[in-house]
Amino acid sequence: MIDLRSDTLTRPTLQMRNAMYAAEVGDAGREDPHGRSEDPTVNRLEDLAARLMGKEAAIFVPSGTMANLVALMTHCSFGQFVGVEKKLHVYHNEKAAFNIRPGGLLPLFYESNPRSGPDLDSIETLIVENKISLLCLENTHNYAGGTCIDKASIDTICQLAQKNGIAVHLDGARMLNASLALNTPEDELAASVDSVMFCLSKGLGAPVGSLLCGTRQFIRQAGRIRKSLGGTMRQAGILAAAGIVAIRQEKDRLIEDHANAQSLARNIAHTPGLVLSLDDVQTNMVRLDVSPSGYDAQSIQQGLEERGVKASAVSENLIRMVTYRDVGRQDMADASNIINEYFETLLK
């Protein structure tokens, strides 16, 4: 079985497991007067993450979902408006932020442009109306198929937001993929946003965890919100140790995932029955519109799985496939053969 459902499937490396075994730990839920935890390994991971993103401080949380939730609840108070696009993970998945409890935030929507980036005009309208307290961006854009927003666009949006006193949170679950694809260091991509989160447990392959990064003051407040949400972990150095290895040793390897996605995409781009835009294959995801086949994504997903390829139906017509460390170049060749043969039988 070639499993292309998500990069969250990535299993920890031997180096990560060894680092976890050897990790020096303490009670990460207790802090000194400077707000540093008693777990030295968690502190090292947080420092490494803050440096990577060019921010003063960072906080280790159990998941990307909680990183976003904590960010939104730190930026905003109950009942405030937040600018989002309907397909952002922050809105689509982090439902708790927009429920009456615990976040109570209200979404106001901006549009995406035809290249799946944020539409500047509609963001400008939101900002100028001046109702929102926070604007959310996502890089890479998960539901758009891993597309990137470049530094110039992020900076333009942030300038406009900040002129109007609006904070910007960047959901950078796959920020390191964006950085590689755009050839722009993470800290430059994140330079103008107020907060950024990234996941250790996607393509980086660590078992658990995400980092939320921002100013020291913001991260201290985020620590109080994390606690209130039940996100405080104790000897979390065990997990942080794997995260440190993930950042140090897996970051550059993500380029292989991008090359594998390219290879898969090129091999199936001209397959009758599906539409695939090679321009949209920018990182480690390949997205197929299967509507020309006359079948919906759900049944295509099932058909592919019966033939040995697991993929995700992400909407009625769209199938998403994600590359990660545990699927290699040969898997790409095998998967594209299976996909090509399957669509051939469908169209007979």
Ligand X SMILES: *Cc1c(COP(=O)(O)O)cnc(C)c1O
Stretch that binds ligand X, among 34-42, 59-67, 251-259, 333-341 (CB under 6 A): 59-67
Q: Which residues make beta-bridge pairs with 288?
A: 319
What residues numbered 148-207 form the site for ligand X, per CB under 6 A? Answer: 171, 173, 199, 201
Least Å from the CB of residue 294 to ligand X: 30
First to last CA, the chain: 25
Backbone angles phi, psi at 111, to 5 degrees: -100, 165
Least Å from the CB of residue 146 to ligand X: 9
Q: Determine how many CB atoms are found less than 10 A away from the CB of residue 5.
A: 16
Burial-class residue 295 by CB neighbours within 10 Å (0-12, 13-18, 19+).
middle
Least Å from the CB of residue 164 to ligand X: 25
Total residues at interface with ligand X (CB under 6 A): 12
Residue 64 sits in the site that holds ligand X (CB under 6 A):
yes
What b/e readout covers 76-95, taking b as 16+ CB neighbours within 10 angstroms? Answer: beeebbbbbbebbbbbebbe
Nearest-5° Cα angle at 343, 341 to 347: 120
Residue 63 sits in the site that holds ligand X (CB under 6 A):
yes
Least Å from the CB of residue 271 to ligand X: 27
What residues numbered 92-151 form the site for ligand X, per CB under 6 A? Answer: 138, 142
What b/e readout covers 199-217, taking b as 16+ CB neighbours within 10 angstroms? Answer: bbbbbbbbbbbbbbbbeee
> 41 or 210, CB closer to ligand X?
210
Residue 46 sits in the site that holds ligand X (CB under 6 A):
no
Stretch that binds ligand X, among 61-69, 249-257, 265-273, 308-316 (CB under 6 A): 61-69
Alpha-carbon span 29 to 26, nearest angstrom: 9
- Residue whose C-beta lies closest to ligand X: 64
Residue 101 DSSP class: T
Residue 312 sits in the site that holds ligand X (CB under 6 A):
no
What residues numbered 264-303 form the site for ligand X, per CB under 6 A? Answer: none
Residue 210 sits in the site that holds ligand X (CB under 6 A):
yes
Alpha-carbon span 318 to 320, nearest angstrom: 7
Least Å from the CB of residue 330 to ligand X: 26
Alpha-carbon span 16 to 205, nearest angstrom: 9
Least Å from the CB of residue 48 to ligand X: 18
Least Å from the CB of residue 155 to ligand X: 20
Q: Helix 175-182 crosses helix 254-268 at what angle (to 10 degrees)? A: 70
> 85 or 171, CB closer to ligand X?
171
Which one of 10, 13, 37, 65 is in contact with ligand X (CB under 6 A)? Answer: 65
Stretch that binds ligand X, among 63-71, 75-83, 242-250, 280-288 (CB under 6 A): 63-71
Question: CA nearest 105: which of 78, 124, 87, 127?
Answer: 78
Residue 39 sits in the site that holds ligand X (CB under 6 A):
no
Quick one: the chain helix, strand, coil %, rounded to 5? 45, 15, 35
Least Å from the CB of residue 274 to ligand X: 23
Which one of 55, 75, 89, 320 is in contact with ligand X (CB under 6 A)? Answer: 89
Alpha-carbon span 30 to 42, nearest angstrom: 12
Residue 215 sits in the site that holds ligand X (CB under 6 A):
no
Q: Quick one: tokens of 282?
A: 């920018």
Q: Which residues bind ligand X (CB under 6 A)?
A: 63-65, 68, 89, 138, 142, 171, 173, 199, 201, 210
